[in-house]
Amino acid sequence: MPNGPRRSPAPADRRRDADRTRRALLDAALAEFAANGFEGARVSEIAERAGVSKQLVSYYFGGKEGLYEAILQRWYELEERIAEPGISLDELVWRYLEVGHEHPELVRLFMRESLNQDPTAFEYEPAAPEVLDLRARQTAGEIAPELDPAFVLLCLQAIVVSGTIQPGDVKRFLGMDPRSQEYLEYAGTQLRLLVRRLGTAGTGPIEPGAHQT
């Protein structure tokens, strides 16, 4: 027999339940967006992945757009912790590699977003914060003077995500599963060595189309 009237959850329990639901929806939405893009993602699939009613998507986030913005905001907050002031360039790049390895869905989401970009819709930004940071590092000696920090940035971005976007080549060339801890440790060591070389290697400017020997 029932022991008495059903007790309503305490406020702290309700907050914990709400936090769990929000996290579950964000995780499910990230997987869905990474797999199908924003346009192809379906709210019903997100809710099913999270194991909740699809009405809760609107309740907590106002719809699919709100979910997407919440994912981006979560990434921005994570990036603030990654890009800690004062750390070396090799440590910074290592942290991005580690986060991409732990969250491949984020990499796939950003890659999918990038592939759909029209370059004519963008303006040249020589003073983009990321480029200014590398220019300051170049002044400090972390990047050789003959290198273009903006191009270095593009190269490092490509290396960091290679394990996720080129998994077959990683296995072919390195003999490792890019999802493994073995690959992360190996790639991290090699990437640190490579980045450290940026500040000391170099034989002067190379003309376009020329080959360095």
Please state which CATH number belongs to domain 12-76. 1.10.10.60
Residue 50 contacts residue 27 (beta carbons within 8 Å): yes
Is the pLDDT at 2 greater than 60, yes or no? Answer: no
pLDDT of residue 156: 96
Is the pLDDT at 4 greater than 80, yes or no? Answer: no
Would you kindly state where each structural domain of the chain is located, as residue ranges?
12-76, 83-201
pLDDT of residue 12: 54
Distance CA 151, CA 173 (A): 25
Each residue of 27-86: pLDDT tens digit?
Answer: 999 999 998 888 889 999 999 999 999 899 999 999 999 999 999 998 888 888 888 889
Judge if 12-76 and 83-201 fold alike in CATH terms: no
Average pLDDT over residues 110-136: 93
Q: Where are the beta strands (DSSP E) in the chain?
A: none
pLDDT of residue 146: 94
Token pair in block for residue 129: 């914060």
Is the pLDDT at 203 greater than 50, yes or no? Answer: no
Q: What is the pTM of this model?
A: 0.79
Domain 83-201 has CATH 1.10.357.10: yes
